[in-house]
Amino acid sequence: MIYLDNASTTPLHKTILEEILPYFTDHYGNPSSLHKLGIETKNALSLARDRIKKAINMECKVIFTGSATEANNLALKGVMHSSKGKHIIVSAIEHDSILEPAKSLASEGYEVSYIPVDRYGMIDINKFEDMIREDTVMVSLMLANNEVGTIQPLKEAIDIAHKHDILVHSDVVQAIGKLNLDLGNLDLATISAHKSYGPKGVGALCLKDDIKIRAIIEGGGQEYNLRSGTQNVPAIVGLGKTMELSKSFDYGRVRELRDILIKRLLEIPNSRLNGHPKYRLPNNAHMTFLGINGEDLIIQLSNKGVAASTGSACTTNKQRESHVLRAMNFSYEEIKGSLRLSLGIQNTSEEIEEACNIIADTIMELRRISPYSYKYNTLA
Ligand code: PLP
């Protein structure tokens, strides 16, 4: 399989696997136990916290969770439930793990404002400032979008938010390893391992010490009383190693391969690149091919040995069209004909060459059997 779905998840890196393995076998102590075996795993958690703080250059508490989804839920519900203010701002193109808790908060009586985006998936920073009110508690703005790859002006948003004394949370999951993560000015950040060659089922919320936050999972008081439950030590060790290694991945080479891919696919009639042409993740190629159905394309590609997706894996589960492309004001036809190709450090130039041929042939074939083939298979 030529794997071009690295924004959904990535294969486990060998170095990370090697780091994890002893924690399934020899080092099995409960980190809350007072004996030697417990101290051993407690120290492993501390090392993971240190590696994370160093990788994101943030002085913070690191709360380990079972996923980035859980960390996002904790950030939004935890902060809002412990504050007097009733207003929260999120961007319209956040991942569902932000939008759904925001919806829940709205049903509890909180007010949510959504920052609009332009055709390239870039937030309107002026509109964001206009939305801030006396009772605004926080804003949640992702660093890079998981579907179209657009990188948001997070630093500017932090400056504006702090001028008005509101907290800033950012889901930086898709940026790990791909962008320089210098998050010292952020108040809360969500990370996860599996988009960057680490294990699935582990994430963390990093938050500044003085932030008031209430747990959403209660019990034995682990993780500073903010996330009870015995920690998944092997996965956390993997997350720590992922963050430590993240700066060493060669995304310059990935970017070159991605640019070749985009150039080749834009030669297909009636095709276009979505997301920002300049401010985008180095591994993302999100495209629209008019006159095809993205799901049909994914299935055909899978049969021919190419793994791709139409957008977020969560959206696929819910069988609904992308809220990101909707927010970017795409037409139904443009949304339907979209394809997300996301590269990883393991992809080779031979793979990209082969994938380009397969994708181009499949699109032309799908259009040929469509009643509208005359419209799309020639240059507009
Ligand atoms: N945030 C973003 C931007 C993502 O792309 C994803 C993954 O799909 C998540 C959050 C959820 O991550 P997890 O699978 O760790 O819950």
Write out pLDDT tens, residues 179-226.
999 999 999 999 999 999 999 999 999 999 999 999 999 999 999 999
* Pocket flag, ligand 1, residue 21 (CB < 6 Å): no
The finding on whether 242 has its CB within 6 A of some atom of ligand 1 is no
CA distance 201 to 162: 33
* Number of Cβ atoms within 10 Å of the Cβ of 230: 13
Q: What values do phi and psi take at 251, rounded to 5?
A: -85, -5
Tokens describing residue 298: 């994914």
pTM of the model: 0.96
For ligand 1, the distance from its centroid to the CA atom of residue 35, given in whole angstroms, is: 36
What are the Cα distances from residue 245, in Å, to 5, 28, 64, 272? 21, 24, 18, 34
Question: Is the shortest distance between the CB of 286 and ligand 1 below 6 Å?
Answer: no
Residue 271 Cα to chain centre, angstroms: 25
Higher-scoring residue by pLDDT: 373, 290: 290
Mean pLDDT of 222-232: 98
Predicted pLDDT at 61? 98
How high is the pLDDT of residue 163? 98
Q: Is the CB of 69 under 6 A from ligand 1?
A: yes
Pairing relation of β-strands 188-192 and 136-140?
unpaired
Tell me the C-alpha distance between 211 and 80, whole Å: 11
Per the rule left: phi > 0, alpha: psi between -120 and 50, beta: everything else, 109 is left
Compute the distance between CA of residue 140 and CA of residue 295 in angstroms, rounded to an integer: 31
Question: Contact 32/222 with Cβ under 8 angstroms?
Answer: yes
* pLDDT value for 318: 58
| Ligand 1 pocket member 6 (CB < 6 A) | no
- The one-letter amino acid at 227: R
Gap from CA of 364 to ligand 1 centroid (Å)? 33
What pLDDT score was predicted for residue 310? 87
The larger pLDDT score, comparing residue 319 to residue 78, is at 78
pLDDT confidence of 313, banded at 50, 70, 90? low
Find the 337 Cα to ligand 1 centroid distance in Å.
23
pLDDT tens for each residue of 116-139: 999 999 999 999 999 999 999 999
Strands laid side by side in the 271-274 sheet: 271-274, 284-289, 338-342
- The residue to mutate among 67, 74, 91, 95, having the most atoms of ligand 1 within 8 angstroms of its beta carbon, is 95
